[in-house]
Amino acid sequence: MSTVFVVPRVGAIWVDFWLYLSVALALGIYVFLARRRGVRDGEVFWFVTVWIVTGCILGKLYNVRYYQGRPWAIDDVIGAWRVGVGAYSILGMCFAGILTVGVFALAGYRVDKLKVLSDAAVLGLCSGQILDRGACFLNGCCFGKPTDLPWGVIYSVWTNAGQRYPKTPIHPVQLYEVGLNLLLLGVLM
C-alpha cells in the first residue's frame, strides 16, 4: 500500500483565511446572480446580511456543541470567536438559510423573489464550500476513517487527523465533498 501524499501542517489561521475567501466568493457569486435575475440591491443586501449573521452565529454554536463535544458554556461560546479557534459548521449556514427565507416570507416577500434569492444563495454556497473544504483538507480539522486505498492521505501529528490517526492513511473526505460540490454546482448551473 502506498499513499498519494502526506499533508503537512498548515495552521488554523490559514484555514480562517480560506474560510473568509470562500465566503467572499460565495457572496460575489450570489450578488452577481441575484442582480442578473432582477433583484434590487437593497433586497440582496438585507437577505445576505440576515443570512450571514445568523449563519455565523449558528455555525459557531453548532461547532462548539457538536464537533468539540462541549456543552454550551458561555466561556466556550465566547472563546470560539477568536481567530484560529474552532471552525464554522456548514450545517449552521444551511439552518440559517432556512431561517432567513422564513423571516423574509413572514415579512411579506413574494415567493418568486424568495426563489430567486434562494437559488442564487445555494449556488454561492456551493462555490464557497469548494474553497472551504480545500482548506479543511490542508488543515486536517475534518477527516475520514483509516483506509487501505491508494488515495489515503497521512496527516502531520500537529493536526486533529494526525493526532487521532498517527501515521495512518485516511480517507480524504474533504476532497470527496469538493467533488460532490462541483457535481452539484454543475447540475444546478
In terms of pTM, does the model score above 0.85?
A: no
Please count the structural domains in the chain: 1
- Predicted local distance difference test score (pLDDT) of residue 65: 65
3-state secondary structure of 133: helix
Given the C-alpha cell 502526506, which residue does it identify?
Answer: 6
Residue 120: all three cell numbers together? 442564487
| CA distances, 3 to each of 10, 62, 163, 164, 176 (Å) | 19, 33, 18, 18, 16
- Predicted local distance difference test score (pLDDT) of residue 21: 77
Give pLDDT tens digits along the chain (189 positions).
455 556 655 555 666 677 677 777 777 887 888 888 888 778 778 887 787 777 777 777 776 666 555 555 555 555 555 545 555 566 677 777 778 888 888 888 777 777 887 777 777 778 878 887 887 788 787 788 999 888 888 888 878 888 889 889 999 988 998 898 889 888 877
Separation between Cα atoms, residue 59 and residue 53, nearest integer Å: 10
- Predicted local distance difference test score (pLDDT) of residue 179: 92
103 close to 10: Cβ distance less than 8 angstroms = no
Separation between Cα atoms, residue 123 and residue 13, nearest integer Å: 26
Q: Which domain holds residue 28?
A: 5-188
